[in-house]
Amino acid sequence: MIGGADVVLEYPGVMRASGGLDIAVRCIAARWPDFVIQDAGAGRFDSYREIPFASLAEVFVYRDSNALESWRVLGADASNANSMVHLIADDRGLTIVVDDRSDPTMASIVREIRDLLTGSQSLVRAA
């Protein structure tokens, strides 16, 4: 079993939840070009153009289709560590859930999303 680390980013100005998700997914996709997105209703999106950001508040971004399948079969198993990022958005901010914030890839993803959304580390708090 693996745990997760929540990073809550508050938007510094006016931003909709869909904007936060869009920015976060773009950051993750830059590192994981074969990414797969699953919304909380289990809908699957294999390309960025398919994602209906305006109607989503929560998504799971998997490194690739193998990672998605492994999560389906094994769940939160240690072998799945750092192969998925969970994003939860509302109009106040974005929560990013990763397995290990000290993992270089996860740390880089969180840092880039934070910088693009807030431009300031002072708005970040661990949950």
Tens place of pLDDT per residue across the chain (127 aa):
346 788 888 877 667 778 889 999 999 999 999 999 998 876 888 888 888 988 889 999 999 999 999 999 999 899 999 999 999 998 888 999 999 889 999 999 999 999 888 764 433 444 4
Domain boundaries, the chain: 5-120
Q: What is the largest CA-CA distance in the chain?
A: 40
Q: Tokens for 61, please give them.
A: 């971004």
**Residue 8: per-residue pLDDT:** 86
Cβ–Cβ contacts within 10 Å for residue 102, how many?
Answer: 8
**Residue 127: per-residue pLDDT:** 43
Q: What is the pTM of this model?
A: 0.85
- CA angle (41, 72, 38) in 5-degree steps: 35
**Residue 3: per-residue pLDDT:** 62
**Residue 124: per-residue pLDDT:** 41
Place of tokens 């974005």: 94
